[in-house]
């Protein structure tokens, strides 16, 4: 697929742009990798950050065929100083920042209230919520008017059903961060929006679906799982000038699941 020049010369940081490999021969593309590729395809220069540097580097290797360029960097979003260094490095090497995507999330901590482990609960919030806040806060001084922040959430933050109470609560908490950041940054013409994926065919999505009949597509109006490209193009819309009058919004990319 070719791009349409929707992000010419933009400087984008994708946090969580690597990809977990379960089966290299059959794994589909993951959300973070697809977003990095689409940004570069549309003309952006992309900093790809991941906890595992080799995964970020594998994504960057795929950007060589695209109009935009990219480089990889390692950052653990559990660590505030690594988040600050990540943003500073991205800003320096890209020559500025026009947008940031926070695509990091873990879903541990046990099933249901009875199974929720307190320490694992704290780790989920440390990664899913605190890491997002710190990444946004670090990026804000570098973003110009017209800059865009995109948080990647989940429909688990919109409705219950996964039984992963810490994950659901953390993704719901992102909505509070979204609203506050959009209000605070509106005077600077910086937009903050969120994409909430549903059942998406990614490496982690396939593993999560194994043996879980409740993740069936039977009740979806579109009767299929989405792909990481569906998520990537939703994020692209929020990064581009096409959404210049949209902020504080959550777009559920879920085949209609939360709309019926």
Rg (CA), the chain: 17
Phi, psi of 172, deg, nearest 5: -65, -35
- Give the angle 248-249-253 at the CA atoms, nearest 5°: 150
CA distances from 170 to 36, 76, 87, 89, 175 (A): 24, 18, 23, 28, 9
45: three-class secondary structure by DSSP: strand
Separation CA 101–CA 110 (nearest Å): 27
CA distances from 90 to 7, 44, 142 (A): 17, 13, 10
* Order of all β-strands in the sheet with 99-102: 70-74, 45-50, 11-15, 99-102, 148-152, 191-197, 250-253
Cα first-last separation, the chain: 32
User: Is position 233 annotated as part of the catalytic site?
Assistant: no
- Please pick, among 102, 167, 233, 245, the residue that the annotation labels catalytic: 167
232: three-class secondary structure by DSSP: helix
CB 37 within 8 A of CB 59: yes
CB 91 within 8 A of CB 142: yes
List the catalytic residues: 167
């Amino acid at each position: 697929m070719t791009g349409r020049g929707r992000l010419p010369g933009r400087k984008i940081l994708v946090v969580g742009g690597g990809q977990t490999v379960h089966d290299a021969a059959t794994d589909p593309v993951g959300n973070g990798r697809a977003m990095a590729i689409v940004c570069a395809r549309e003309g952006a220069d992309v900093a790809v950050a991941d906890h595992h540097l080799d995964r970020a580097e594998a994504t960057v290797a795929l950007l060589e065929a695209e109009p935009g360029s990219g480089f990889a960097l390692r950052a653990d979003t559990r660590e505030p100083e690594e988040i600050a260094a990540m943003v500073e490095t991205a800003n320096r090497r890209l020559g500025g920042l026009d947008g940031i995507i926070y695509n990091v999330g873990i879903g541990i901590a046990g099933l249901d209230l009875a199974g929720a482990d307190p320490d694992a609960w704290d780790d989920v919030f440390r990664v899913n919520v605190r890491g997002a806040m710190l990444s946004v806060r670090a990026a804000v001084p570098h973003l110009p008017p017209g800059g865009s922040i995109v948080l990647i959430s989940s429909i688990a933050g919109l409705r219950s059903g996964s039984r992963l109470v810490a994950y659901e609560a953390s993704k719901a908490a992102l909505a509070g961060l979204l609203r506050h950041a959009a209000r605070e940054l509106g005077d600077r013409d910086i937009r903050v929006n969120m994409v909430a994926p549903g059942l998406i065919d990614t490496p982690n999505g396939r593993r999560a679906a194994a043996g879980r009949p409740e993740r069936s597509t039977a009740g979806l109006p579109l009767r299929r799982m989405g792909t990481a490209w569906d998520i990537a193009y939703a994020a692209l819309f929020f990064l581009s000038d096409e959404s210049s009058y949209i902020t504080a919004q959550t777009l559920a990319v879920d085949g209609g699941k939360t709309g019926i």
